Chain A
Amino acid sequence: MALTIAKTLDVKGLACPMPIVKAAQAIKTLAPGELIEVLATDAGSVKDFAAWSKTTGNALLESTQDAGVFRFVLKKKG
Chain B
Amino acid sequence: MTLVADRPETMAPPAAESETKPQPAAEAEPETGGLVIFALSGDLERTWATLILANAAAAMGKPVTVFYTFWGLFTLVRNDAGRTGNVWMQKMLSVMNPGGTSNLKLSKMNFMGMGPWMMHSLAKKYSVSSPQELLESARDLGVKLIPCQMTMDMMGLKREDLIDGLEEPAGAATALAAAEGAMTLFI
Q: Taking beta carbons and an 8 Å cutoff, which residues of A are in contact with B?
A: 13-18, 20-21, 23-25, 51-52, 55-56
Contacts and interface: CB of A to CB of B under 8 A. Distances in A.
A51 B57 CA distance: 11
Interface in B17-63: 52-53, 55-56, 58-62
A56 B52 CA distance: 18
A13 B127 contact: yes
Contacts of B58: 21, 24
Q: How big is the B interface, by class?
A: 10 to 19
A56 B61 contact: yes
Given A24-B61, A24-B141, A55-B61, A17 B127 contact: no
Nearest to A16: B52
B137 interface: yes
A43 B134 CA distance: 20
Contacts of A14: 127, 129
